[in-house]
Amino acid sequence: MRKFLLLLLIFCLAVSPVLYAAQETVSVVSFEGDVKVLAPGEKEAVSPKKDMVLEKGTKITTGKGGYLEMTFDESGDNILKVEEETEVVIKIDGVDKVELVNGELFALIQNLGEGEEFRVKTPCATCGARGTAWKTMTDGQTTDVSVVDDKVFVRGFNKDGTVSDKVFWVNKGYRRSIKKFRAPGEMKKIPTARFARMKREMKPLSSRLNKVIDKRISASGLDKPRIERVVDRQEAMDKRTRTIDIREDLREKSLDQQREKKDEPILRKRRRRPPPPSGGTGSP
């Protein structure tokens, strides 16, 4: 949360929000091993290059031991890692940013426009969030969503291909599996060893985000300690706001309990009252 506030403050001071919201550029950050990129309209796939722009409809495939990292904005805040033996297609179609055909994706989403969502589409479901980190895996028949930070929503598909209206959430440290044309299964805790691996996998992506922040501070000529003090004050205000909300909830709960306690004697008296005699007449 601190990183996001810091980034947001720098952004508001140094860049026009309207101009930023209008830009959506997908480009290659890094890659390694067997990776192929097939641009729309082309017949032959090519090897990627750093900073290579990926157009809508571009297909990315990785072999064993290969991976590719790409950003979905010019600032490099939202990073998606295509794991080994995976096939994805760039969508940039409204909220659906990428389609995972088969394999694994790791998403670290830290900076979206107001009201914007980042979704990953699979053959079984669509999942996404406004700012979090999660892994999506699919074999075409089952999709698994595992959350490393914050929470992610999941929606299955109806048999006619439309997205289900029912929304299911996956919290930090938990996962859900979704079979094709079925509702998502129960939320289950991620095994400790696997969760630790996922957190380690997130560190390099977070490191890239920190470099983006430092680079932007340097380019803007702003004083980093001063910015951090502003962020500290904002976090303190948020903490006080949460404390007030909690106190208000406790106060309401206490009032409800007092009202229930006051009404209890009346309810008990009503329960002890004998039932009225049955109506109607007739001969014995």
Residues 100 and 140: beta-carbon distance below 8 Å: no
Q: How far apart are CA 215 and CA 187, in angstroms?
A: 39
C-alpha closest to that of 185 among 211, 163, 154:
154
Q: Which residue has the tokens 């805040």?
A: 77
pLDDT exceeds 70 at position 119 = yes
pLDDT at 170: 94
Please indicate, yes or no, if residue 230 is contained in any of the structural domains: no
Q: Could you tell me which residue, 254 or 57, shows the higher pLDDT? A: 57
pLDDT at 275: 62
| 148 within a domain of the structure (yes/no) | yes
Tell whether 14 is covered by a domain. Answer: no
For residue 147, what are the domain limits? 22-201
Instruction: Report if residue 29 sits inside a domain.
Output: yes
pLDDT at 206: 63
Residue with the larger pLDDT of the pair 24 and 177: 177
What is the pLDDT of the chain when averaged over all its residues? Answer: 78
CATH code for the domain in which residue 175 is found: 2.60.120.1440
Question: Which residues on neighbouring strands pair with residue 145, listed in sequence order?
Answer: 136, 176
- Separation of alpha carbons 27 and 216, rounded Å: 19
What DSSP character marks residue 162? P
89, part of any domain = yes
Is the model more confident about 66 or about 271? 66
What confidence score (pLDDT) does residue 17 get? 39
Q: When comparing pLDDT for 36 and 245, which is higher? A: 36
Residue 6 counted as domain residue: no
| Strand partners for 188 | 175
Domain total of the chain = 1
pLDDT (average), residues 105-133: 84
pLDDT class for 284, splitting at 50, 70, 90? very low
Q: Check whether 29 has a pLDDT greater than 80.
A: yes
Q: Pairing mode, if any, of strands 86-93 and 35-38?
A: unpaired
The answer, as to whether pTM is greater than 0.75, is: no
Q: Residue 102 falls within a domain, yes or no?
A: yes
Quick one: which of 196, 60, 80, 197 has its CA closest to 132? 80
**HSE-up of residue 99 (Cα within 13 Å, Cβ side):** 14
What is the predicted pLDDT for the residue at 201? 81
H/E run at residue 39? none
Give me the DSSP letters along 43-78: SS-B---TT-B--TT-EEEE-TT-EEEEESSTT--S
At 94 the pLDDT is 72
Could you read off the pLDDT of 178-193 as tens digits, one per residue? 999 998 899 999 999 8
Q: Is residue 95 part of a domain?
A: yes
Note whether 152 and 134 are within 8 A (CB): yes
- Taking a C-beta distance cutoff of 8 angstroms, is the pair 84, 33 a contact? yes
Collapsed DSSP state (helix, strand, coil) of residue 33: coil
